[in-house]
Structure 1
Amino acid sequence: MKLLFVVDPLDTFKTYKDSTFAMMREGAARGHELWACEPPQIVWQRDGRVQAEAARITLTGDADDWYTVEEMAVVALADADAVLMRKDPPFDAEYLYATHLLSQAEREGARVFNSPQALREHPEKLAIMAYPQFIAPTLVTRDIETVRAFHAQHRDVILKPLDGMGGAGIFRVKDDGLNLGSVAETLTRNGTQTIMVQKFLPAISEGDKRVLVIDGEPVPYALARIPQGGEVRGNLAAGGKGVAQPLSESDLTIARHLGPILAARGLLLVGLDIIGDRLTEINVTSPTCFQEITQQTGWDVAARFIDALEARLKG
């Protein structure tokens, strides 16, 4: 099969931990043809189809020079067997425009994973609003006085931007309220940008768990990203330590409830973030942690993902 990956620049990949690389490696091992392009290379013109200037690559097995470009060609997305949207956040205007181009490619017959419509309808921080039974006390607002009232009620809170990734822009304000006004003003840009505020969950000391769900079914192991050195953030990009562990009963309850719903909406791969027994985010753009889970447990996440992809394409 011809697999076209829409990605960040290939030279920025950290192959020792990159989940997209793990997908490519598994696909290549099964004889699938690998193509890659970046969102700016996707174009559409009237009376034509959505196309991309793409590279056909082979994997070298070298950790540094990990790929070779075999050819460059302009390809119609609908001519690929599958298009895998793996561009990292932020979900900014350009990301949104890319999803609209991918939706047009779908109308032309392309098979896109995750579904571009589903990507648009599931912003990673806000998608949890549909499942209040699983989340901590949460506020979405850009009104600073409303933030103050939420803190007065819950006393220890986390504030974060809606478009961040890797733990960027996350702040904790404890019972004393120190710097609450400054943090709220900065994150909301003086009341002009919406943010999320959540009650602090002490269970973060045991890790911010990434639970992967592939075509509605949870991977049996989570990666608990444990804060280090006094940090409140468990994100690996913020220095958290990743420890794979079996799913807890509450993890399974959440994943089994959301999995079939999200899969039916065109989300082949989802990353649920869970602290303790509370759902904090639903990641749909480019969920990660494949390699860490596989390396620590032997459970081959990439193989399961390609199995699911192949099944979808044959279905």
Structure 2
Amino acid sequence: MDLLFIADPLESFKIKKDSTLAMMRVAQEAGHQLWFCQSRNLLWKDNLVVADCQSLLIKPSSKSWFDLGEVQSKALNSFSAVQMRTDPPFDIEYLNSTWLLSAAKIQGAKVFNDPTAVRNHSEKLSITEFPELIPPTLVTRELSAVEEFHRAHTDIVIKPLDGMGGMGVFRVGPDGLNLASIVETLGENGARTLMAQRFLPEIAQGDKRVLLIGGEVVPFALARIPQGKEIRGNLAAGGKGVAMPLSAEEKRIAQKLAPILNQRGLFLVGLDLIGGYLTEINVTSPTCFVEITDQSSFDVPQFWLKALERTLS
């Protein structure tokens, strides 16, 4: 198969733990041809969606781990599959890329995740479709609504809808210290919508990343455990990643959502769970493949490749 990966610059990859690189390695080892481009290299040209892309060879050396061929202009529908792995934030240019990918899909390209489904699933807001699974949650631009929510729940977390890696996440305790200032700053004085949730003390045991691939559940989660006085478990915020088997409650939630999301074209999903509550549904470029594989008996990249091959067969 010819597999196109649309991703961030290869030089930016953290080669010891990058999930996209893990996908590339296992696909190459299985004999598939790899191609690479950035989202900026997508074009509508001569009535086709094309990519100015390069063939990609992954090498064993960590110092010089890839070779790229000459730039070629190839229609997206000429690839066996297109993997959209550009990291968030989901800004206007990410949105433009999904529109081009939707046009490519109309022309017969097989895009993972489905670009329409990605647009329809805000990684923060999509949890509201499953209110029985989420903690008490408020979405608003109004300071007064956040203040009322804080009075009701006393200990809350506030975050922007377009954050990633724990960026912009604040906890406001019972004293309400700096609540108005946090809301005004994060919300740019009412210009941006925020999410507030009841603080979940179970975060001390980890913010669990649960992977759904091809409608199936990976049986191990990565618990991202806050360190020191930090409340954020995100690895980008210094959290410690510990792989562990899914609890019965985590498995129940994952098995409920996996077929629903896969049927919509969300082939690879990363659920975030804290204390048995669903807090996010990540659909842009879910990670943690390497950490789970290294710390458990489960080979996530192989599981992903086999699911992809089944889907394309």
TM-score band w.r.t. shorter chain = over 0.9
What's the CA shift for 1:63?
Answer: 1.6
Q: What does residue 299 of structure 1 align with? A: 298
Question: Is 2:57 the partner of 1:76?
Answer: no
Question: Is 2:41 the partner of 1:41?
Answer: yes
Distance 2:189 2:25 in 1: 46
What's the CA shift for 1:278?
Answer: 0.3
Q: What does residue 288 of structure 1 align with? A: 287
Distance 2:130 2:62 in 1: 41
Q: Identity over aligned residues, as a percent?
A: 56
Q: What does residue 24 of structure 1 align with? A: 24
Question: Is 2:301 the partner of 1:277?
Answer: no
Question: Is 2:90 the partner of 1:103?
Answer: no
What's the CA shift for 1:254?
Answer: 0.5
1:3-14 to structure 2, matched below 5 A, reads 3-14=3-14
Distance 2:101 2:59 in 1: 29
What's the CA shift for 1:71?
Answer: 2.7
What's the CA shift for 1:61?
Answer: 0.9
Distance 1:202 1:117 in 2: 35
Q: Secondary structure at the match of 1:71?
A: coil
1:159-198 to structure 2, matched below 5 A, reads 159-198=158-197
Paired residues in the alignment total: 313
Distance 1:113 1:280 in 2: 23
What's the CA shift for 1:65?
Answer: 1.5
Decide which moves more: 57-66 or 208-217: 57-66
Q: What does residue 2 of structure 2 align with? A: 2
What's the CA shift for 1:229?
Answer: 1.4
Distance 1:134 1:65 in 2: 45
What's the CA shift for 1:112?
Answer: 0.2
Q: What letter matches 1:215 in structure 2?
A: G
Q: What does residue 143 of structure 1 align with? A: 142
Q: What do residues 6-31 of structure 1 show as CA deviations (whole Å, max 9, x unaligned)?
A: 10111100111100000000000000
Distance 2:63 2:197 in 1: 40
Given that 1:212 and 1:219 are in contact with CA atoms closer than 8 Å, whether structure 2 keeps it comes out as: yes
Q: What does residue 116 of structure 2 align with? A: 117
Question: Is 2:220 the partner of 1:215?
Answer: no
Q: What do residues 250-280 of structure 1 show as CA deviations (whole Å, max 9, x unaligned)?
A: 1011001100000000011000000011000
What's the CA shift for 1:66?
Answer: 1.1
Given that 1:225 and 1:243 are in contact with CA atoms closer than 8 Å, whether structure 2 keeps it comes out as: yes
Q: What does residue 201 of structure 1 align with? A: 200
Q: What letter matches 2:43 in structure 1?
A: V
What's the CA shift for 1:70?
Answer: 2.6
Q: What does residue 226 of structure 1 align with? A: 225
Q: Secondary structure at the match of 1:231?
A: coil
Distance 2:182 2:39 in 1: 33
What's the CA shift for 1:41?
Answer: 0.6
Distance 2:86 2:69 in 1: 22
Given that 1:57 and 1:71 are in contact with CA atoms closer than 8 Å, whether structure 2 keeps it comes out as: no
Distance 2:272 2:226 in 1: 14
Q: Secondary structure at the match of 1:158?
A: strand
Distance 1:227 1:139 in 2: 24
Q: What does residue 89 of structure 1 align with? A: 88
Distance 2:121 2:277 in 1: 18
Decide which moves more: 47-56 or 131-140: 47-56
Distance 1:216 1:79 in 2: 26
TM-score between both structures, scaled by the size of structure 2:
0.99
What's the CA shift for 1:64?
Answer: 2.8
Decide which moves more: 60-69 or 194-203: 60-69
Distance 2:47 2:129 in 1: 38
